[in-house]
Structure 1
Amino acid sequence: MTEKKTKGAARPAKKKKKRMSGQAWFYTIFFTMVIGVVCAIIGYLLIILNGERLLAEHGNKLDFGEASIVYDVDGNEISRLYVFDEHREVAEFSEIPKQLLEAIVATEDRRFYEHSGLDFFAIGRALVKDIVARKAVEGGSTITQQLAKNVFLSADKTFFRKATEASIAVALEQDMTKDEILTMYLNRIYFGKGIYGAKAAAQFYFGTELSKLELWQSATLAAMPKGPNLYNPINNPEESMKRRAVVLQLMYQENYISETEMNEAKAVPYVQPENQNQLKTGSYHAFVDYVIDEAMEKMGIDETELRVSGLQIHTTLSVQAQQAVEKEFADASNFEESKDDQLVQGAMVIMDHQTGEVKAIAGGRDYAQRSWNRAVKPRQPGSSIKPIVSYGPALETGKFTPSTILKNDQKCFGNYCPTDRWGPVEVSMTQAMKDSRNLAAVWTLNQIGVKTGATFAKKLGIPVLDDDMNLALALGGMTRGASPMQMATAYSVMANGGKSVDAHAILRIQKKGKDVYTYTAPESKQLMSSQTAAYLTQMMQAVIEKGGTGTRAAIDRPVAGKTGTTQHGIPGYNGSGIKDAWFVGYTPEWTAAVWMGYDKTDVDHILQKGSAQSAALFAKVMQPALKGIPKRSFQTAEPPEEEEEEEPQPLATVNGLSAVFEKESIKVILSWTASEEPDVTYEIFRKEEGSDTGYISFVDDVAGTTVEDMSVFPGVTYDYYVVAHNKASNAKSEPSNAITVAIPQIDLGTPGIPMEPPEGSEPVETLPVETPQATPDTGGEEPAATPSPTDDGSIGGEAPIETPLSTEASGKMGEEQGMADTQG
């Protein structure tokens, strides 16, 4: 009988695996390490051999890279972005100050004297940080690698280029001393503004010899290779100073300088040397700089790469227009004369509003010296903003036309009381634009709402900030303002029938004959109706006509445009003067924006002539700039469709008008019979016999049937009549019977000294005199005390405004500050 297997019976034992002996482990690790070492040695030898081969083939060239070239719209070369022979000087090692060498080493490669071209410690550290951040946050390139890239390689970012860079770096370390590598590096690196090498940079930025650089100057130069455009002390003085402080901190950590030296060098402000222009030659610098910025954005590369990439950049530049701009900007008679050597500056942008092509740019009268491109720097726009934030959006609502009467009968909007020389009187929108009336513009913005005006402006590319949301926006009261480029673009939309305009200066970019970038216009958008655009053009043509504020902008073509000025805003100074003077306008072919003013406004540096000179400069430039371009005409605005309205039935004529003269109080008491119509008010008309003015409205909106005339004079005869009005139906009666009242001669006595006013009487109202408000210098200013005179000596259209209050569309007020104009 077979035995049953019981639960828990023993199972056959498993075979034990043989463990690797200690000797086997030793040999495995040993041979793995040997293989690794052999591979590393072979790899390192290959790197050295490849680097030596490349040095043998290309070492005699010492090539920075092929120059990128800029061409005008006709394909003619206008600038080479990499002409190092004009902007570089070679320095010997003995000329380089020790502190500059230390600043470069501390900032770019603190282990420079310890490695042999490749810093594996830095590479590993950078790799770890990149992995943790999941993106490239730190580089591991040594100074030798940077030199290899700048001297021998193109700007292409590929694995093979990095490997080649490492090969050359190791070879350089084999063939050159550390001092020679540093010398070559400092002679080759780019310092912005077309300057290559530390020697040329010392002369350009500080007007001194390389060997005489001070600590703060050496640190400033050492800060720039990381970003020549970003850390440039001319372009970005604040960022340059911050980066300089970082360099000095690194030098202190490496024990190159003391804490006292570090703090003293951090605090020194940068001042541009007077002879800075000596290293800058050529022309069209403002336009070329604008092209460089646009090319960097389109290509996604920095300026150094752009300059050495061998690109052919074809632009929209019209040499004819640019030469016209440069000629007039070089003529001092086009600008006010300054009290000292601080010039009255200016900027201008010319644009084809049909294509968005930028045709010419002026960045300043001495742009080659200062390189501060005022064409793209914001300034307060003054009244040139009125078509953009007040009249344009009002027309777009469909409730206004150029002939609409603006009933701006308010002096104040809450606590905000803008003024002009006309006061609160009714005026058509066209006349308000022509005269550049302040109250009309503010009243219109209040009617449509600040939010509506701001939204319209933003669509046109004008940067309206939250702090700008108040009624002072109607007069150019903005925190930062707008640049000539932005103003030209906004006006181009009006000139282009309300369609969007994409400003650009590059048509295409090529490399070795092949297109690497081609401009493609974005889809056109209708930012305002063509009717609104045509209305604005029609209204702004009146500005150029006789009596308008921009008559000096007239040329032999149709012109529409708007002037604008802003008051000086100097705290504690109540004299007249202007900070910004504008004219922005267009012909049917091109749009242009002109700005004039001082870079820094103070009591000794303010304008007096206003926007008339800006308008005149527009004409002087645009006349020759447009030579040979076929003349066109503006689009004509279609008349608005008139709604058929029922003619209101006339009210019954008022009867029984009579008058009584009271001798004691020297007044006439008028009375009449009440109208039978309900909800009627009365308007009384008066005529002084012998006067040429005829009947005038003496008083209106009278609810009763009696009124007193206390403004009569002895010996004068007056005629009166009354008209009834019904506001609900807009109906009115025929004139009542007319009566004549002869005021007898009355002896009032011979006056001696002026009499005191009767006790309790109200004082005569006078216009307020505003005091300028102090604000930070953000490119704008607060209102000054009095309006400035125009060229004919009269007081111009715009006048100072008081500190404005913010408002919503409903017109509610809340405190904010703003800006004002002085004239058209």
Structure 2
Amino acid sequence: MSNDEILRSNRHRKSGGGQPPKPKKKRKLTRKRVLWTLFFTMALAIFCALGGYLFITINGEKLLTENEGKLTVNPTTKIYDRNANQIAELALEKSDPVESDKIPQIIKDAFVATEDKRFYEHQGVDLWSIGRAAVKDVIARSMVEGGSTITQQLAKNIFLTRDKTFFRKATEMSIAMALERHKSKDEIITLYLNRINFGGTVYGIKAASEHYFGVSNLNELKLWQIATLAAMPKGPSRYNPLRNPELSKERRGVVLQLMNEQGYITQEEMNQAKVINYNYKPPATKQKYQAFIDYVIDEAENKYGLTEDDLNIGGYKIYTTMDKDAQTTVENAFADADNFEKSVDDEPVQGSMVIINQETGGIVALMGGRNYEKKGFSRVNDSRRSPGSSIKPIVSYAPAIESGKFSMDSQISNAKQCFGDYCPTNLHGYSNTISMSEALTKSENIPAVWLLSQIGVGTGYDFAKKLGIGVGDNDRNLSLALGGMEKGTNTLEMAQAYTAFATGGEERQAYAIKSIADSTGETAYKANTTAERVMKESTAYQMTEMMQEVVQSGTGKKAKIDRPVAGKTGTTQSGYSGVSSNRDVWFVGYTPELTAAVWMGYDNPDRKHLLKNSSPLAAAFWGKVMGEVVKNYPEKSFPKPDNLDIPKPSEQVTEQVQAVTGLTAAYESSTGTVNLAWNPVTGEGKEYRVYRKETSEADFTQLVSTLSPNAADIGAMAGLTYEYYVTVYDPATGTESDPSNTATILIEGAEPSPSPSPSPSVEPSPSPDQGARGGPEQTVPGGDNGGGTDNGNGNGGGNVDGNGNGNGNGNGNGNGNGNGNGNGNGNQGGGELPVTTTPSPSPAASPADGAAAGGAAVPETDTQNVTGGADAGVVTQ
């Protein structure tokens, strides 16, 4: 016996028992026992399957009988504003059912080819399609293909519930099989076409034809229109031709391809129908709050997985963040044509605006365009454009302060320089250093790019991404500092990003839906309002301090209202050589209560469709709207951190590169070259860059780079006059010096052709309403002894006219000083004029430039060409 058995025996004797119990014998697993077990298991499974099938079949027959004639079983879905006031009801748009003989066969063929090519072969459930879809889903590890037949889709409409359960799917199958037992294939496809959702609240093929094409008689639909409608069941919102014409056209091409492959249309018919562009505009309908309502429906679909069909028939109650007064103010502003630049033709200047309550993240109001139509194209999130200088606080200034190496009091580089091959320029001139606050206020370009180069492009890129800006992989370059982005951004992203400055460094995901209650009144979905800290309090505080100055005395002055305002302008230039107009204008700003972003521009900018105005246009619109909206909000102050300690910057500005002196030029007739020489500078590894301009040319261009203090121009032509200057480039710091003195030489030989007289870059007199508006300061050269008059009270020793002729005191609106002999300084101010301002790489300028500077004023703008990114040369500050 084992030790355990002996112990048990002893315990048994001590307790007075008799013999210890014998251990139980294990029952052997025989073949007969296994077979009987399998038999009963299979019998039970078959019984359950038969019972389940019988129940589903009977239930399918019952549901089909009860619901076949109904379109909805719940009350309509209702939408409420932030105070629980009803603002909308999703009433279904449907027409009377169309008889089968009134539906052309090509329409039926298009839907069969697209949705269920084995429609005429299966009995309601296509096991082959289900299996194929399952295999693809397994391979892709996600739901990439559905297995529902047209009959099942019809069954889903008949069952009228949207719970995502196995029972619902099984019920769909049971109704589908019941349909196949009671209806012919033609009856099924006809019923399907009369009930299916075509986006929004539109149901049925005839209602869709009328809504999207204005066609009541289905026989009048063209092939491309039929294919457009057949493309919609896969994604009624995504492939809505009114809202997403390009995606709709792309999906239409897939439908036509399927129809061709299955023999319904020819190759020629397919090709013709593929290329037609959708341009139908439905009759204008006036529905208050329509843009916001459409955004709410999109958010319910994208964030909570509810389809438009679910919402239409689900009997939901949707509680939103909309402020009715604010939304009405925005809609009225967009309806007023005086708030927008007048278009050159029938294509209007467009715009978008988003207002967010930064304390909650709730969207207070929005508008996606002028004359917005239900389910129309929304520029709030469907369009992406270059943000220009409005991105500077996000990618350059804030991350630089966040690094601890800089503060708003830092002196940063403002010297003319290149960063490798990237050479941005300033609109308002250059200096060795500039304070960070002044650089942002004046919207200078060099400091923003220099800061990004100092902290690293990756740091600025990651900071922008953390704030919700949709930067792409190709945006990782220094042009990002000036808005150089491959795809751009939108007003929703920009407004959300700026909320972090307004709240002291915390950001909440912007949302429009607070909660959704189902038909029983239970809360089915609720917004997440958790805040994330994205920057230090001290960083947000310093950014707010600097951006308040932008509004008080910088490029954003027209956004002033009765509340404290901080913000930043942005402008994108045309991208066309010699064209000074703009593609995009922005203003993004915030009060202590609300944050808002405004964009204006043409949807399809080209040489003809460009803005003559710059960012003050958007700033003025922002101020007009927000001045009214904030009246309904208790006045607050911007947050200020306790025990604020702004650290002294530990990193100093890179020392300016020494400029070249003593440049001389001499023409050697025997070799036909211009020999240039200059005094060498100290230091190792310096590179000399030689620039040349023929006097009839507008700008200098780089001629050659050399490591020696001399160079030769072998391309100079006889009879012409050339100007040269030299700079020093330091590869170690990526910094370029100021230009040297200019050397001018006339190439001897043939009779020189006269050079055209340079024309003023500024119109000589402003319109009456322009003189009162301020412009940025800019140092410009004066002219030779001359005289000229303009309106205002500028003065100087010899203000000149456009030709630099005459003698006397000039009077210019905007405090212009012109010191004769061509060395004067004109401190420009006054009004905004539609002018072309082209920064020159040389500090020298023509007398005409000086004359213009002393008289009329330059526009208050922050435009500046940049290179880099996908839109090199188009995207600007």
TM-score by length of 1: 0.71
Among residues 479, 484, 493, which one is paired with 2:491 in the alignment? 484
Query: Which residue matches 2:214?
Result: 207
**In the superposition, relative to structure 1, how do residues 399 and 282 fare at CA in structure 2: closer, same or farther (>3 Å)?**
same
Matched, 1:80 2:83: no
1:800 is aligned with what amino acid?
A: Q
Matched, 1:61 2:70: yes
The C-alpha deviation readout for 1:714-740, integer Å capped at 9, x for no partner, is xxxxxxxxxxxxxxxxxxxxxxxxxxx
Query: Which residue matches 1:428?
Result: 435
**In the superposition, relative to structure 1, how do residues 451 and 282 fare at CA in structure 2: closer, same or farther (>3 Å)?**
same
Q: Distance in 1 between matches of 2:464 and 2:143?
A: 39
Query: Which residue matches 2:585?
Result: 581
Matched, 1:247 2:255: yes
1:611 is aligned with what amino acid?
A: S
1:589 is aligned with what amino acid?
A: E
The C-alpha deviation readout for 1:764-815, integer Å capped at 9, x for no partner, is xx9xx9xxxxxxxxxxxxxx9856999x9514453433535x9xxxxxxxx9
Q: Distance in 2 between matches of 1:53 and 1:594?
A: 55
**In the superposition, relative to structure 1, how do residues 396 and 127 fare at CA in structure 2: closer, same or farther (>3 Å)?**
closer
Question: Deviation at 1:488?
Answer: 0.6
Does structure 1 conserve the Cα–Cα contact (< 8 Å) formed by 2:232 and 2:239? yes
Counting only pairs closer than 5 Å after superposition, residues 91-106 of structure 1 correspond to structure 2 as 91-106=98-113
Query: Which residue matches 1:142?
Result: 149
Query: Which residue matches 2:40?
Result: none
The C-alpha deviation readout for 1:490-524, integer Å capped at 9, x for no partner, is 111011101222211111111121111222323x3
Q: Distance in 1 between matches of 2:47 and 2:503?
A: 72
SS at match of 1:542: helix
Question: Deviation at 1:400?
Answer: 2.6
Q: Distance in 1 between matches of 2:473 and 2:528?
A: 33
Question: Deviation at 1:281?
Answer: 5.3
Among residues 452, 467, 474, which one is paired with 1:467 in the alignment? 474
Q: Distance in 1 between matches of 2:137 and 2:590?
A: 52
**In the superposition, relative to structure 1, how do residues 333 and 116 fare at CA in structure 2: closer, same or farther (>3 Å)?**
same
Q: Distance in 1 between matches of 2:48 and 2:413?
A: 90
Q: Which has the higher contact order (CA 8 A, sep 6+)?
A: 1
2:477 is aligned with what amino acid?
A: N
SS at match of 1:574: coil
Does structure 2 conserve the Cα–Cα contact (< 8 Å) formed by 1:346 and 1:596? yes
Among residues 354, 361, 383, which one is paired with 1:356 in the alignment? 361
Among residues 556, 560, 577, which one is paired with 1:554 in the alignment? 560
Counting only pairs closer than 5 Å after superposition, residues 321-336 of structure 1 correspond to structure 2 as 321-336=326-341
**In the superposition, relative to structure 1, how do residues 819 and 785 fare at CA in structure 2: closer, same or farther (>3 Å)?**
farther
**In the superposition, relative to structure 1, how do residues 436 and 47 fare at CA in structure 2: closer, same or farther (>3 Å)?**
closer
Does structure 2 conserve the Cα–Cα contact (< 8 Å) formed by 1:582 and 1:611? yes
Deviates more, 1:37-46 or 1:252-261: 37-46
SS at match of 1:70: strand
Matched, 1:607 2:611: yes
Q: Distance in 2 between matches of 1:559 and 1:644?
A: 27
SS at match of 1:531: helix
The alignment covers a number of residue pairs equal to 646
Q: Distance in 1 between matches of 2:96 and 2:582?
A: 44
Query: Which residue matches 2:80?
Result: 71
Deviates more, 1:174-183 or 1:633-642: 633-642
Q: Distance in 1 between matches of 2:500 and 2:159?
A: 48
Does structure 2 conserve the Cα–Cα contact (< 8 Å) formed by 1:478 and 1:818? no
Query: Which residue matches 1:772?
Result: none
Counting only pairs closer than 5 Å after superposition, residues 38-437 of structure 1 correspond to structure 2 as 49-63=58-72, 66-81=75-90, 83-85=91-93, 88=95, 90-119=97-126, 122-123=129-130, 138-209=145-216, 210-265=218-273, 267-274=274-281, 276-278=282-284, 282-368=287-373, 371-376=376-381, 377-425=383-431, 426-437=433-444
1:456 is aligned with what amino acid?
A: F
Does structure 1 conserve the Cα–Cα contact (< 8 Å) formed by 2:231 and 2:248? yes
Unaligned runs of 5+ in 2: 1-43, 651-742, 749-757, 762-834, 840-851
Query: Which residue matches 1:591?
Result: 595
2:613 is aligned with what amino acid?
A: K
Matched, 1:630 2:620: no
1:396 is aligned with what amino acid?
A: E
Q: Distance in 2 between matches of 1:162 and 1:443?
A: 60
Deviates more, 1:172-181 or 1:437-446: 172-181
Q: Distance in 1 between matches of 2:534 and 2:491?
A: 20
Matched, 1:444 2:451: yes
SS at match of 1:186: helix
Does structure 2 conserve the Cα–Cα contact (< 8 Å) formed by 1:467 and 1:816? no
Among residues 800, 814, 817, which one is paired with 2:864 in the alignment? 800
Q: Distance in 2 between matches of 1:469 and 1:494?
A: 23
**In the superposition, relative to structure 1, how do residues 137 and 466 fare at CA in structure 2: closer, same or farther (>3 Å)?**
closer
Q: Distance in 1 between matches of 2:423 and 2:139?
A: 59
SS at match of 2:203: coil
Query: Which residue matches 2:876?
Result: 821
Does structure 1 conserve the Cα–Cα contact (< 8 Å) formed by 2:406 and 2:648? no
Question: Deviation at 1:567?
Answer: 0.6
Q: Distance in 1 between matches of 2:385 and 2:626?
A: 22
Q: Distance in 2 between matches of 1:437 and 1:605?
A: 27
SS at match of 2:202: coil
Among residues 484, 497, 513, which one is paired with 2:521 in the alignment? 513
Q: Distance in 1 between matches of 2:434 and 2:133?
A: 69
* Alignment RMSD: 3.8
The C-alpha deviation readout for 1:402-448, integer Å capped at 9, x for no partner, is 23333312243333332233222132222222221222322333333
2:78 is aligned with what amino acid?
A: I
Among residues 432, 454, 460, which one is paired with 1:453 in the alignment? 460
2:377 is aligned with what amino acid?
A: W
SS at match of 1:580: strand
Query: Which residue matches 2:797?
Result: none
Question: Deviation at 1:171?
Answer: 3.7
Question: Deviation at 1:552?
Answer: 1.3
The C-alpha deviation readout for 1:592-619, integer Å capped at 9, x for no partner, is 0001111100122111111112111111
Query: Which residue matches 1:694?
Result: none
SS at match of 1:520: coil
1:80 is aligned with what amino acid?
A: E
Query: Which residue matches 1:811?
Result: none
**In the superposition, relative to structure 1, how do residues 141 and 466 fare at CA in structure 2: closer, same or farther (>3 Å)?**
closer
Among residues 499, 515, 538, which one is paired with 2:506 in the alignment? 499
Q: Distance in 2 between matches of 1:644 and 1:605?
A: 45
Q: Distance in 1 between matches of 2:419 and 2:48?
A: 83
SS at match of 2:610: coil
Does structure 2 conserve the Cα–Cα contact (< 8 Å) formed by 1:799 and 1:820? no
Greater C-alpha Rg? 1
**In the superposition, relative to structure 1, how do residues 391 and 165 fare at CA in structure 2: closer, same or farther (>3 Å)?**
closer
Query: Which residue matches 2:37?
Result: none
Q: Distance in 1 between matches of 2:589 and 2:649?
A: 37
Query: Which residue matches 1:742?
Result: none
Deviates more, 1:245-254 or 1:576-585: 245-254
Q: Distance in 1 between matches of 2:253 and 2:319?
A: 40
Does structure 2 conserve the Cα–Cα contact (< 8 Å) formed by 1:64 and 1:150? no
Q: Distance in 1 between matches of 2:393 and 2:472?
A: 18
TM-score by length of 2: 0.67
SS at match of 2:631: coil
Does structure 1 conserve the Cα–Cα contact (< 8 Å) formed by 2:157 and 2:196? yes
Q: Distance in 2 between matches of 1:164 and 1:630?
A: 54
Does structure 2 conserve the Cα–Cα contact (< 8 Å) formed by 1:388 and 1:453? yes
Deviates more, 1:94-103 or 1:550-559: 94-103
